[in-house]
Amino acid sequence: MPVKELDLDFDKEMKDTNIRSKRRVLSKIMSGNWATTMKGQGMEFAGFRQYTYGDDASKIDWNATLRAKETLVRQFEEYRNVNVFIVLDVSNSMLLTSQAKMKAEYAAELAFNLSLAITEGGDSVGYALINEDVQSYKIPVIGKQNVMKLMLDLNNPKFYGGPLEFKKCMNMINGILPERTFIILISDFLGLEDGWERYVKILSISSQLMGIMVRDKVDYNLPEIALQARLRDPYNDETLFVDSKEYADSYKKAVIEEEDYIKSVFDKAKADFIKLDISEDLLKKLSEHFNRAMNLGSM
């Protein structure tokens, strides 16, 4: 399902006063959330120094002491920033819409604003665009260089469309990222292969994981009027004719059950999860979610 052009205006996303205000709010909330869940929880090795009276003897490194022939203690520093990695699904099902833009375009704007909010909070940001493969990626770095590269990649139609090979892409991502990365996975979570759940669990072991489910109302509602509808699978072009009125309720029920199951997979992996409808104000809803999570964590 090739894409010829994209309706994305990142200059507006950067300059619009209303969007900038929402992004600042999101940046502050995320920084506060990560300060309680990640930044203060870990220490990293910063080197050795000579032992002085009053030092904690448990910090003496005896191997280094023997090599140097003087008593040395290990020094540690608290983690100063968070590595955030945004994974954006750009496969066929993300090209569906009932709104002014495709799900992929709303999700692209969300990913772009997230990356700006992260850098404004002083944290590192990287990204990957995925479908049948990892189309483009950058490892997290501090500063806006990856934000600008992300903007260019999001504007490139050749990266969009194709099947989603979730397991293959997650396996590659798990192999390139440092530990203690905060991974934000943006997808509609449609077209997942059998066994995808295991890869969510794998990612959540070495990293903190958040799933953002982006859905359109046509993902869970058949047309309200009675008609013979032709449904087409975006991954294999298989078509099915259905009576919309007869199957509307059972279709919606099946979608709700599927969404509940996807959320349960993230819950079992102790990963964060939120569902967003593209008709909503995505930045506002995400800020509210992070704010709720931070307040619950402090109780």
21 vs 86, 128, 210, CA distance in Å? 21, 26, 23
Burial of 167 (0-12, 13-18, 19+ CB in 10 A): middle
Residue found under tokens 């220490």: 43
Question: What is the per-residue pLDDT across 18-74, written as a single tens digit (0 to 9) for each?
Answer: 999 999 999 888 877 765 565 444 555 556 777 787 777 778 888 877 877 788 887
Q: What is the pLDDT of residue 3?
A: 82
| Contact status, residue 129 vs residue 248, Cβ threshold 8 Å | no
pLDDT at 76 exceeding the cut of 80: no
Q: Average pLDDT of the chain? A: 85
Least-confidence region, from 41-50, 104-113, 222-231: 41-50
- For residue 280, give both structure tokens: 């909503």
Residue among 150, 127, 152, 129 at smallest CA distance from 140: 127
Give pTM, 2 decimals.
0.81
Distance of CA 161 to the CA centre of its chain: 19
> By three-state DSSP, how is residue 72 classified?
strand
Residue 95 has pLDDT above 70, yes or no: yes
The pLDDT value given to residue 294:
61
Position 79 scores a pLDDT of 52
Give the per-residue pLDDT at 41.
47
Domain boundaries, the chain: 10-38+80-297, 43-78
Residue 249 has pLDDT above 90, yes or no: no
Between CA 81 and CA 23 the distance in angstroms is: 19
Provide the angle, in degrees to the nearest 10, between the axes of the packed helices 282-297 and 103-120.
50
Task: Choose the weakest-confidence range: 32-41, 124-133, 154-163, 252-261.
Answer: 32-41
Q: What's the pLDDT band for 152 if we cut at 50, 70, 90?
A: very high
Query: Hey, is 260 helix, strand or coil?
Result: helix
Contacts of 238 (CB under 8 A, 6+ apart): 232
pLDDT at 180: 79
pLDDT, residue 151, reads 97
**pLDDT-derived band of residue 140, with 50, 70 and 90 as boundaries?**
very high
Q: What is the CATH topology of the domain spanning 10-38+80-297?
A: Rossmann fold (3.40.50)
The band of 299, judged by pLDDT with boundaries at 50, 70 and 90, is: very low
CA–CA gap between residue 56 and residue 11 (Å, rounded): 54
Low-confidence winner among 116-125, 226-235, 245-254, 272-281 (lowest mean pLDDT)? 226-235
pLDDT(82) > 80: yes
